[in-house]
């Protein structure tokens, strides 16, 4: 039986802190390289588990996109690259100093490092929060080869998801709402829906809302808010697929060579 050759690798943890003056940070991703750039990769946590703020999720998302693209080129990051990044990144986003690790199988080592350093505790959220649904929406678009940007401004308005290069039948601006979480106050979700409709009118572009309906265990006012918001969307002729329907809808516009998602589950 063939024995896998063990190689020397190095890994760093990408960390984020919303206040650079305080020693509080969250692990975002793990990066694995070797000295010469022969192998390597990245595993990132779902961004909704890192920050609840859409704008911060968008900034982290763009950084992860840039990092992943570097690993997909013929000139992958090396140990020297990690050391340079450790010096350059010193504020809200930073890298830990590279540490040595034995590598027989790159994917297996990346998976183990991810579980040890970046995976959400308990496997992630147990309820269908907006953040959880947003993670799924972005991953679905990217798995189908669509260029989805999270938390981006169009004109003066911040949208949950902006899709470039999509078929005209798939609206380029997407709002995500979930009425299935255990929260008791829903005015925030109503505000988000109203802001989205107002923004669509101002930027004069098509939009879609991916809406997770309430569950049987949801609070009664969740159903009332859901029905109210759905009436608004219907009146504005905005499509409102649920998360599962959105998966099926998006697959119709799949690129024959889909892009890899950023969030590793």
Q: How confident is the model at residue 149 (pLDDT cuts 50, 70, 90)?
A: very high
Q: What is the pLDDT of residues 217-246, one digit of tens each?
A: 777 899 999 999 999 999 999 999 999 999
Confidence at residue 123, expressed as pLDDT on a 0 to 100 scale: 60
209 occurs within a structural domain: yes
CA distance 44 to 150: 15
257 occurs within a structural domain: no
Q: In this structure, are 101 and 182 located in the same domain?
A: no
When divided into structural domains, the chain yields a total of 2
Q: In this structure, are 94 and 143 located in the same domain?
A: no
Domain that holds residue 184: 130-251
Distant-in-sequence, close-in-space partners of 217: CB < 8 Å, separation ≥ 6: 182
- The CATH number covering residue 218 comes to 3.40.960
Q: Give the number of C-alpha atoms closer than 13 A to the C-alpha of residue 189, restricted to the C-beta side.
A: 30
Among 70, 99, 123, which residue terminates a domain?
123
Among 103, 123, 143, which residue terminates a domain?
123
Among 98, 123, 148, which residue terminates a domain?
123
- Do 171 and 154 contact (CB within 8 A), yes or no? no
- Do 46 and 119 contact (CB within 8 A), yes or no? no
Average pLDDT of the chain?
88
Q: How confident is the model at residue 252 (pLDDT cuts 50, 70, 90)?
A: confident
Q: What is the pLDDT of residues 46-89, one digit of tens each?
A: 999 998 899 999 999 999 999 999 998 888 999 999 999 999 88
């Amino acid at each position: 039986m063939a024995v896998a050759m063990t190689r020397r690798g190095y890994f760093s943890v990408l960390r984020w802190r919303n206040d650079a003056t305080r020693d509080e940070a969250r692990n975002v991703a793990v990066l694995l390289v070797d000295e010469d750039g022969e192998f390597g990769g990245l595993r990132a946590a779902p961004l909704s588990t890192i920050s609840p703020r859409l704008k911060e999720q968008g900034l982290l998302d763009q950084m992860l996109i840039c990092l992943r693209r570097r690993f997909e080129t013929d000139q992958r990051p090396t140990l020297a690259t990690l050391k340079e990044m450790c010096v350059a990144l010193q504020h809200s986003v930073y890298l830990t100093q590279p540490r040595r690790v034995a590598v027989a199988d790159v994917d297996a080592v990346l998976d183990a490092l991810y579980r040890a350093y970046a995976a959400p505790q308990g496997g992630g959220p147990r309820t269908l929060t907006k953040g959880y649904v947003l993670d799924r929406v972005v991953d679905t678009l990217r798995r189908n080869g669509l260029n989805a940007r999270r938390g981006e401004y169009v004109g003066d308005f911040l949208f949950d998801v902006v899709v470039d290069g999509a078929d005209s039948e798939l609206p380029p601006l997407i709002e995500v709402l979930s009425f299935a979480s255990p929260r008791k106050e829903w005015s925030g979700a109503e505000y988000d829906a109203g802001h989205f409709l107002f923004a669509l009118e101002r930027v004069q572009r098509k939009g879609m809302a991916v809406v997770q309906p309430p569950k049987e265990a949801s609070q009664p006012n969740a159903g009332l808010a859901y029905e109210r918001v759905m009436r608004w969307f219907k009146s504005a002729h905005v499509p409102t697929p649920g998360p599962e329907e959105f998966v099926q809808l998006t697959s119709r516009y799949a690129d024959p060579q889909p892009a890899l998602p950023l969030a590793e589950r």
